[in-house]
């Protein structure tokens, strides 16, 4: 799935090899580590800076496939973050400074709930099983959170 506005697709390239499911740790969810991984992935896939900024500011990962499922409040927060990014860039603020500022998290990690651990395990299994399983997992999550 390409982020909204990224202009990226698989472009006929072969899919990456399937990864084995990882065990879900019982420790706390570390937002900083999660977004470090996101930023590395974003750099490797040329995700536009405004989408990186909006993801960091809203803690939402919006794609063409899930945008329709956002609540009006979340969609507004996402759109506002994109607008804020462009206003700052137009005012002369370097995009790298905006992303660095958005990346500073002041909240300590929270322990994962048992449901979150189950969801992460199901995600890893779906990812290892391939695109069809991952699509089915995404649809289940969308139905659960947006009945």
Chain mean pLDDT for the chain = 76
pTM of this structure: 0.51
Q: Which long-range contacts (CB under 8 A, 24 or more apart) does 116-122 make?
A: 116/29, 117/24, 117/26, 118/24, 120/24, 121/21, 121/23, 121/24
Pick from 91, 90, 63: nearest CA to 78: 63
Q: Domains of the chain: which residue ranges?
A: 28-109, 112-147
Residue 7 reports pLDDT greater than 50: no
Compute the chain's Rg from CA coordinates: 16
How confident is the model over 138-143, as a mean pLDDT?
Answer: 82
pLDDT at residue number 106: 55
**Tens digits of residue pLDDT in 45-78:** 778 889 888 888 888 888 888 888 889 999 999 9
Cα–Cα distance, 99 to 34 (Å, whole number): 15
Residue 28's H or E segment, with its range, is strand 28-29
């Amino acid at each position: 799935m390409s982020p909204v506005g990224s202009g990226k697709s698989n472009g006929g390239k072969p899919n990456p090899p399937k990864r084995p499911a990882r065990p879900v740790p019982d420790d706390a969810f570390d937002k900083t580590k999660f977004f470090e991984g996101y930023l590395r992935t974003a750099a490797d896939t040329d995700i536009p800076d405004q989408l990186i900024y909006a993801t960091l500011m809203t803690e939402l990962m919006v794609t063409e496939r899930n945008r329709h499922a956002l609540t009006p409040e979340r969609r507004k927060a996402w759109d506002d973050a994109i607008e804020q990014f462009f206003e700052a860039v137009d005012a002369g603020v370097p995009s790298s400074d905006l992303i660095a500022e958005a990346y500073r998290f002041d909240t300590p990690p929270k322990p994962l709930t048992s449901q979150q651990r189950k969801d992460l395990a199901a995600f890893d299994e779906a990812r290892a099983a391939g695109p069809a399983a991952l699509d089915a997992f995404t649809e289940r999550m969308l139905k659960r959170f947006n009945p």
